[in-house]
Amino acid sequence: MRISRRHFLGTASVAVMTPAIIGRAMAATGGKALPIPDVLDLRGGGGPVALDAMAARSKIIEGRETVTVGYGQGFLGPVIRVNRGETARLNLGNRINEPVTVHWHGMHIDGNQDGGPHSPIANGEVMEAALDIDQPATTLWYHSHIHQRTATHVWFGLAGMLIVDDPDAAASELPSDYGKDDIPLVVQDRIFDNSGQMLYAPQGPTRMMGYRGSEILVNGAIRPQATVPPAMVRLRVLNGSNARIFHFGFEDGRQFYQVASDGGLLPTPMPMNTLTLAPAERAEIVVDFSDGAAARLLSAPDNNTMMGSMGGGMMGMMRGAVPEPVGDGGVFEVMTFAVDQTRSGGVTALSKTLAGAPVPAFGEPVRRRQFSLDMMPRGMGMRGMMGGGHGMAINGASMDMGVINEKMRLGEAEIWQVSTREMAHPFHVHGCSFQVLSLNGQKVDFGRMGMKDVVLVNGTAELLVQVDRKADADHPFMYHCHILEHEDLGMMGQFTVA
């Protein structure tokens, strides 16, 4: 199916989002069965598999058709599975009337395979991808990454999950029956207008602080219900939102275990009651449903706004402009779980250590770099921030496709010091997984955070970064804020690795 540019782009320009429009936005009913994404299984090698970006009308809201885009399907994409040690081959096509990319977020591959802004696929074109998978088992994702269009593309559906399998990690004995006790959860917030269309119109404060939605979708369905066995269940959670930070927890306060973060398994399961995930972060958690009790997964509201740093009349305007899902005291439902006693789960207990967990084996850092994330770079001020094409920057420079900002040496460890001012920013680096050494001067326990490729920085962070994949000036790697509106506004830079 082909869609006119007007439809895909039109949605963004039809409605100027104001608090009034948010007030009229549709409140949709949830509770449908959780969709389990199809698997595009690239394990075992073989010939290239086609994956086309396409548009469609999707049934998200009862009685309405929503214009969406997806990879190989109408909305979002399949869960792609690849094996460590193999080459995954895809023919990436595009049936949308504007260029898209397929960026392999978190994958350790060379810049020319990374699918960043320098690798557009035009309408009707096919790009061959050969991804040499060489990293520990983990949950990654893929999404479009056209400069200044990433936020729009992801919002309307160009995103999916990718799972790296590694025989070393099989010994961890985690639940691994896909869709049964090993369940992908792509969590996103969206806004729907009364005709059931997704509304994307960042403007003023919602552009400045990132665009959030008043409805929660999991795997493309509104606040769905998963049915699980009375056993340990592994949830692979991706925050696929443009800007919203989730603070997940169960209504009954039950404990769960985090077993993996962005870059792979944690050395040992970490017990917790709440889990914060910023945009693009992933966590695998294991939840015990053996008592048969139903559960509700909730989130606390996202307070990552500029309230603190802005005064007076701006406050009310901005508060009204950040839509929050309806909930008690700001806490809202993400999805629910029902336990089916007739199903049996494979795993009833977690092992104390997780086999196949990555161990950071970086060399001594040989240099330091500073990255200062600016929402109001000098000379641009509020005008740059609120309107205009650019306005946000790293180290005073807005993203320029023609400028290489940093040059790294292959395999050399470095300390990256990232600092933020006006609000917290999820900082992401392509081509590698890094270790978070400290946050605001406090040493970070590796066992809690594991290997990361996105870290929420609210103040300062020190990262130990080593990139073992090459990237030249034609296909450099990116580092950027993963609040997609910030990224599109220029809070991004480019680096080569040689």
Q: Rule CB under 6 A: which residues touch ligand C2O?
A: 103, 105, 143, 145, 280, 428, 430, 478, 480, 482
Of residues 153 and 480, the one with the C-beta less far from ligand C2O: 480
In angstroms, rounded to a whole number, what is the distance separating the alpha carbons of residues 179 and 34? Answer: 10
Nearer to Cu ion, 105 or 180 (CB): 105
> Within 427-446, which residues bind Cu ion (CB under 5 A)?
430
For residue 486, the partner it binds in Cu ion, ligand C2O, none, with Cβ less than 5 to 8 A by kind, is Cu ion
Touching Cu ion, residues 474-493 (CB under 5 A): 481, 483, 486
Rounded to a whole number of angstroms, the minimum distance from the CB of residue 278 to ligand C2O is 12
Smallest gap from residue 3 Cβ to ligand C2O (A): 24
Cβ at position 198, least distance to ligand C2O in Å: 20
Percent helix, percent strand, percent coil in the chain, to nearest 5: 10, 40, 50
For residue 315, what are the CA distances in angstroms to 203, 305, 306?
16, 10, 9
Q: How far apart are the C-alpha atoms of 62 and 64, rounded to whole Å?
A: 6
CB under 5 to 8 A by kind: which of ligand C2O, Cu ion, none does 481 bind?
A: Cu ion
Smallest distance from ligand C2O to CB 188, Å:
13
Between CA 157 and CA 154 the distance in angstroms is 5
> Residue 66 or 152: which CB sits closer to ligand C2O?
152
Q: State the pairing for strand pair 442-443/182-190.
A: unpaired
List the single partner that 244 binds among Cu ion, ligand C2O, none, CB under 5 to 8 Å by kind: none
Nearer to ligand C2O, 207 or 480 (CB): 480
Residue whose CB is less far from ligand C2O, 280 or 357: 280
Residue with smaller CB distance to Cu ion, 221 or 432:
432
Q: Does residue 133 contact residue 86 with C-beta atoms inside 8 Å?
A: yes
Residue 143 interacts with which of ligand C2O, Cu ion, none, CB < 5 to 8 Å by class: ligand C2O
Q: Choose one: 199-207, 330-338, 419-427, 457-465; the region binding Cu ion (CB under 5 A).
A: 419-427
**483 binds, options ligand C2O, Cu ion, none, Cβ within 5 to 8 A by partner type:** Cu ion
Backbone phi, then psi, for 220, in 5-degree steps? Answer: 85, 5
Q: Does 143 bind Cu ion (CB under 5 A)?
A: no
What is the nearest approach in angstroms of Cu ion to the Cβ of residue 137?
Answer: 19
CB nearer to ligand C2O: give 53 or 318: 53
Residue 176 CA neighbour count, 13 Å, CB half: 17
How many residues form the binding site for Cu ion (CB under 5 A)? 6
On whether the CB atoms of residues 373 and 420 are closer than 8 A, the answer is yes
**Which listed option, Cu ion, ligand C2O, none, makes contact with residue 425 (CB within 5 to 8 Å by class)?**
Cu ion
In whole angstroms, what is the distance from residue 431 CA to residue 112 CA? Answer: 11
Q: Alpha-carbon distance 69 to 77, whole Å?
A: 9
108 binds, among Cu ion, ligand C2O, none (CB under 5 to 8 A by kind): none
- Phi and psi, residue 124, nearest 5°: 85, -10
Q: Which residue lies nearer to ligand C2O by CB, 425 or 482?
A: 482
Q: Please identify which residue in 34, 68, 72, 105 interacts with Cu ion, judged by CB under 5 A.
A: 105
| 27 Cβ contact partners less than 8 Å away, ≥ 6 residues apart | 214, 215, 326
Q: How many CB atoms lie within 10 A of CB 411?
A: 12
Do 399 and 495 meet the contact criterion of CB atoms below 8 Å apart? no
Cα atoms in the Cβ-side hemisphere of radius 13 Å centred on 292: 4
Q: Which residues neighbour 239 within 8 Å (Cβ) at sequence distance 6 or greater?
A: 187, 188, 245, 246, 277, 278, 279, 280, 281, 282
Which of Cu ion, ligand C2O, none does residue 145 bind to, with CB < 5 to 8 Å depending on kind? Answer: ligand C2O
> For the residues of 187-232, what is the DSSP string, one character each?
EEEE-B-TTSPBP----THHHHS----SEEEETTEES-EEEE-SSE
Smallest distance, Cu ion to C-beta of residue 211, A: 12
Q: How far is the CB of 159 from ligand C2O (least distance, A)?
A: 9
Pick the closer one to Cu ion by CB: 302 or 333: 302
- Please report how close the Cβ of residue 143 comes to ligand C2O at its closest, in angstroms: 6
Evaluate whether 460 touches 441 at the Cβ level (below 8 Å): yes
Number of residue whose CB is nearest ligand C2O: 105
Q: State the residue for tokens 């088992």.
A: 137
Closer by beta carbon to Cu ion, 339 or else 455: 455
Among 149, 234, 244, 425, binds Cu ion (CB under 5 A): 425
| Separation in Å, CA 446 to CA 27, 260, 358, 463 | 41, 12, 11, 12
Q: Which is nearer to ligand C2O, 108 or 482 (CB)?
A: 482
Q: Which residues bind Cu ion (CB under 5 A)?
A: 105, 425, 430, 481, 483, 486
